[in-house]
Structure 1
Amino acid sequence: MTVVAGGAAAARPQLIRAINEQVLLEHIRRSGPVSRTELATLTGLSKPTVSAALATIERGGLVHASGQRTGVPGPAARLYDVRPEAGFVLGLDVGREFLRGAIADLRGTVRCRLSVRTKAVREMARVQELADLAATLLDEAGITASQLTQTVIGSPGVYDPKRDTLTLTGRLSGWDSPAVLPALRERFGPTLMIENDVDAAALAERVHGHGRDVDSFAFVSVGTGIGMGLVLDGKLRHGFHGVAGEISYLPFTEGSGSDARDARKRGSFDASASAAAVVRAARRAGVRGATSAAKVFAAAARGDVIAAAVVTEEALLVAKAVCSVIAVVDPELIVLGGGIGQAPGFLDAVVEQLRLLSPVMPEVKMSVLAADTVVAGCVAAGLDRAWQHLLGRIAQPATA
């Protein structure tokens, strides 16, 4: 017992130092550049304690002196900030038509970004295209793969830990193959993390969009596919099985023929309200030139009565789905995204229908984020994970 107590007593100062360093680093991350005096005020630590902890994390290469604050009474104060080059994050978005990516430093500054049209037909070719895109981004950023602290791929689907594979991957043919994840890990190494693409978009909305000032919101994406990212109490919620937000499986009428086949593969709501469903509905109704959902919406905007009726029906379907979300989780805000969700006039049409259906009316806004939304969310998720890693690294000497 004496040995254990002595060991605990010896470890306690190390643990306290590590905690102080973690606290300081987190404050510098969120508030920097800051001075020693400001850090002492923010943390409640003494100035000598702050100086000692700063010296340690500065030697570790995580922070650096970034300048001096002048123009205030007293001597100029040295300012400390995160050293951006202490780590890098790679975010990738894998879609059916495009692959997008970006690299950001530890401060969150994007060093380079790129979007390429995919030529892959099979899943292994798509994996290789992702690896090639990553290599191009690394070259443009002027860094090596070893400098990446975290890699995050935004992908349709849900991770199944029992089978170690992705499921519910929608229109990304073959992406649920058991060979995909091992191939991605082989190319991207131990820093790889997979995030559902719509969940990643919700994270981007939380960091950069309408979700910045609210604690609970639902990001509803309607376009080529349909999905939702749900943020409650400031945290992204995945659910017990990881399917929270898979609203494409809401049990809407699935129709017949190709509608029914789509419903079996990708969910009833997807079969009823995705871009492909809008095109099918427009063709059945007799809308000329209905080769894409964008053209159907454009025809409605020009005054085509039949196309307008198709758009109104689409708005009703989306309003029903949103009403279901409101009735279950009652979020403060609904954000519409995706090609259809961000189509001109669609927000107003959904709100009009929602007022007739919903027991309460949260704010409903259209996302102002562009095509790189998923990449931005992947970078945000990667930065959070990178910081967890760095903070844990500080604590390791104390727990060794």
Structure 2
Amino acid sequence: MGFSHLSRPGESFSAAELTPSAKAVFRSLVASGPATRPQIGEQLALSRPTMSASIGELERLGYVEKVGESQGSLGRKAALYRVGAGAGRVMAIDAGSTHVRLRVATLDHRLLHSRTYRLPASHRLMNEEISRAVAEEFAAAAGEAETGWGPLRAVGIALPSRVVADGAERAATRQDELFTHFAPPAGPELVLENNVNCAAVAERVYGVAKGRDDFAYIQIGLKLGMGLMLSGRLIRGRNGAAGEIGHLAYPFAPGHTPVAGEAETYLGTEMLMRRVRQAWPEKAGPPPEDAGALFHRAENGDAPAREHVERHAADIGALVASCVAIVDPGLVVLGGGVGTSPLILPVVRTVANALSYPVDVETSSLGPDATVLGIEKLAVDRALDVVLVQTSP
């Protein structure tokens, strides 16, 4: 359907009179991608007249469009439909500690535009530098927008911080640091979520935890974090702190006083490299410059490097075992720059299962895109509430 049939900025754009069957058809296309009327009708148990009427309703709003034909099993061709430009788009931003990743996509997750910006320095906390990068990347992406993309329905931003609603804890989360340079546009819905929670969402929809109702996603890199999915629901906690394993007090030993957040300090890549440099044998030459170089050398057979990596993997295995002892998720997905190393997985599996209850441990299949894909899914969910004129639960 041509853009002339779509809503222009400033026009009323309501789906208040959409029938339940039309809404169900639209949700099916959002979730599963292009399909024919017979395919959707069979999936939703809708009659041919109901399907015809539903597609007609959606076409009038520009919510669906015909994109071709599909050959049926009996030789007949059927029109193939997908989500139309009138349904609009979302913008998803991963405001990370080292990178800002951005995606503009349709509600059925077709990529329209993407960009990645590497921050000049790493940041353990949400701050003005990340806010400035978000503002610049948002402006650059907005400048690339085409009219045929339809209206911007929602902007989702994944933050390296806890995220809470209004309340006393909000200032402590640092989430409002996002707005020191970035001003959200008027109109589109704004969705904020913790970055590791977003990665967990993506793993359940697209990754190795696809279809699993219970699992934990543990990110290991510069920082530590855990996203928990239990009974098919993302667990956030009263203070948005569920899964904040980096905040664990450490160490527990005679003569030591546990310090809040010391687990992240000890297991983060900065402290790892400090230990590597202190213990590196002189006869082995200069130590690796950073964690990436350490893991590269270990993968290529460097004995001292491999020893440090395996020791670090054993520490991670102990951390995973602690998480398993608390929530018993059945599956743990490892992510982050360190967590996705192939050298880490076998050691973590062995140690975690030796120290706690049986658990499957897998490496994320989504890599660095996990967080931005997760916040995109959450932004689409919010956009659907707008498009179908429903209230979020």
| TM-score class, shorter | 0.7 to 0.9
Matched ranges for 1:212-361 at <5 A? 212-253=210-251, 264=260, 267-286=261-280, 288-301=286-299, 306-360=304-358
Distance 1:35 1:297, change over 3 A: closer
Q: Which residue does the alignment assign to 1:4?
A: none
Distance 1:391 1:178, change over 3 A: closer
Q: Supply the distance in 1 between the matched residues of 2:267 and 2:83 (Cα, whole angstroms).
A: 45
Structure 2 unaligned blocks of 5 or more: 1-14
Q: Supply the distance in 2 between the matched residues of 1:376 and 1:289 (Cα, whole angstroms).
A: 36
Distance 1:186 1:77, change over 3 A: closer
Aligned partner (choices 162, 182, 193) of residue 158 of structure 1: 162
Q: Which residue does the alignment assign to 2:4?
A: none
Q: Supply the distance in 2 between the matched residues of 1:90 and 1:229 (Cα, whole angstroms).
A: 22
1 or 2, which has the higher helix percentage? 1
- Which digits, 9 at most, give the CA deviation of each residue in 1:148-175, with x for residues without a partner? 111111111112421484645xxxxxxx
| Matched-pair contact (CA < 8 Å) for 1:254–1:271 | no
Q: Supply the distance in 1 between the matched residues of 2:168 and 2:331 (Cα, whole angstroms).
A: 35
Cα displacement (A) at 1:17:
6.0
Tell me the TM-score normalized by structure 2. Answer: 0.81
Q: Supply the distance in 2 between the matched residues of 1:188 and 1:97 (Cα, whole angstroms).
A: 28
Q: Which residue does the alignment assign to 2:100?
A: 99
Q: Which residue does the alignment assign to 2:12?
A: none
Task: Provide the secondary structure at the position in 1 that maps to 2:368.
Answer: coil
| Matched-pair contact (CA < 8 Å) for 1:104–1:112 | yes
Cα displacement (A) at 1:222:
0.5
Distance 1:55 1:166, change over 3 A: farther
Aligned AA for 1:194? L
Aligned AA for 1:376? L
- Which digits, 9 at most, give the CA deviation of each residue in 1:336-393, with x for residues without a partner? 1111112231111212222321221x22111132323222222122122212322226
Q: Supply the distance in 1 between the matched residues of 2:312 and 2:279 (Cα, whole angstroms).
A: 13
> Quick one: percent identity of the two aligned structures?
30
Cα displacement (A) at 1:49:
2.8
Q: Which has the higher mean CA deviation after the structures are superposed, 219-228 or 196-205? A: 196-205
- Which digits, 9 at most, give the CA deviation of each residue in 1:220-277, with x for residues without a partner? 111000001112233322123211111112233189xxx999x55xx12101211012
Cα displacement (A) at 1:210:
0.6
Aligned AA for 1:106? L
Task: Provide the secondary structure at the position in 1 that maps to 2:266.
Answer: helix
| Matched-pair contact (CA < 8 Å) for 1:249–1:268 | yes
Q: Supply the distance in 2 between the matched residues of 1:187 and 1:128 (Cα, whole angstroms).
A: 15
Structure 1 unaligned blocks of 5 or more: 1-13, 169-175, 396-400
- How many residue pairs match? The answer is 367
| Matched-pair contact (CA < 8 Å) for 1:83–1:106 | no
Q: Supply the distance in 1 between the matched residues of 2:374 and 2:18 (Cα, whole angstroms).
A: 33
| Matched-pair contact (CA < 8 Å) for 1:299–1:307 | yes
Cα displacement (A) at 1:309:
4.1
| Matched-pair contact (CA < 8 Å) for 1:159–1:242 | yes
Q: Which residue does the alignment assign to 1:5?
A: none
Q: Supply the distance in 1 between the matched residues of 2:40 and 2:342 (Cα, whole angstroms).
A: 47
Distance 1:368 1:35, change over 3 A: closer
Q: Supply the distance in 2 between the matched residues of 1:69 and 1:285 (Cα, whole angstroms).
A: 64
Distance 1:114 1:188, change over 3 A: farther
Q: Which has the higher mean CA deviation after the structures are superposed, 339-348 or 284-293? A: 284-293
Q: Which has the higher mean CA deviation after the structures are superposed, 374-383 or 143-152? A: 143-152
Aligned partner (choices 373, 376, 382) of residue 373 of structure 2: 376
Cα displacement (A) at 1:119:
4.7
Q: Which residue does the alignment assign to 1:199?
A: 197
Aligned AA for 1:226? L
Cα displacement (A) at 1:63:
1.0
Q: Supply the distance in 1 between the matched residues of 2:216 and 2:65 (Cα, whole angstroms).
A: 38
Q: Supply the distance in 2 between the matched residues of 1:301 and 1:50 (Cα, whole angstroms).
A: 56
| Matched-pair contact (CA < 8 Å) for 1:185–1:192 | no
Aligned AA for 2:361? V
Q: Which residue does the alignment assign to 1:173?
A: none
Q: Which residue does the alignment assign to 1:3?
A: none
Q: Supply the distance in 1 between the matched residues of 2:74 and 2:293 (Cα, whole angstroms).
A: 63
- Which digits, 9 at most, give the CA deviation of each residue in 1:279-302, with x for residues without a partner? 122233235424322333345456
Aligned AA for 2:207? G
Q: Which residue does the alignment assign to 1:10?
A: none
Q: Which residue does the alignment assign to 1:115?
A: 116
| Matched-pair contact (CA < 8 Å) for 1:253–1:272 | no
Q: Supply the distance in 1 between the matched residues of 2:149 and 2:130 (Cα, whole angstroms).
A: 20
